[in-house]
């Protein structure tokens, strides 16, 4: 149940956007054991000059996951691998053009609704 912020280049089709979102979500579920219906994603579409990844060209994705602490290094490494495999397969993004960062926090740092910290209530 990470909160995933995904940045892609502007002007992509709905099918492309769906492939990116689904590929990342599938990698999260497969490698980190989150429930299938736990999906929290925000997708930003940015102009070419606003999504810079060193001097790499072509399609690129930057994603940042915020999640509760506790995932093992093994599951994170598996996620990195699976996410780039999924994005390479569909919609065809070069794995070299995928940047992934993860920030962990604690149970008290989440409120899904009603102003309640559901993990500690």
Question: At 102, which helix (H) or strand (E)?
Answer: strand 98-105
Write the pLDDT tens digit of every residue in 71-86. Answer: 999 999 999 999 999 9
Distance CA 113, CA 116 (A): 6
Torsion of Cα atoms, 19 then 90 then 34 then 61, to 10°: -80
Give this prediction's pTM: 0.94
Kindly indicate the confidence band of residue 121, based on its pLDDT and cuts at 50, 70 and 90.
confident
The residues pairing with 45 across neighbouring beta strands, listed in sequence order, are 8
For the cut 90, the answer to whether the pLDDT of residue 95 exceeds it is: yes
**Domains observed in the chain:** 3-109 (3.30.429.10)
């Amino acid at each position: 149940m990470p909160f995933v912020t995904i940045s892609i280049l502007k002007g992509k089709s709905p099918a492309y956007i769906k492939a990116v979102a689904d590929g990342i979500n599938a990698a999260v579920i497969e490698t980190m054991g989150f429930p299938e219906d736990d999906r929290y994603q925000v997708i930003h579409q940015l102009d070419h000059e606003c999504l810079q990844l060193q001097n790499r060209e072509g399609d690129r994705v930057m994603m940042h996951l915020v999640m509760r602490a506790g995932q093992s290094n093994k599951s994170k490494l598996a996620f990195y691998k699976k996410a780039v495999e999924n994005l390479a397969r569909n919609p065809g993004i070069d794995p070299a053009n995928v940047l992934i960062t993860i920030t962990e926090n604690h149970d008290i740092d989440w409120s899904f609704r009603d102003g309640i910290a559901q993990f500690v209530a």
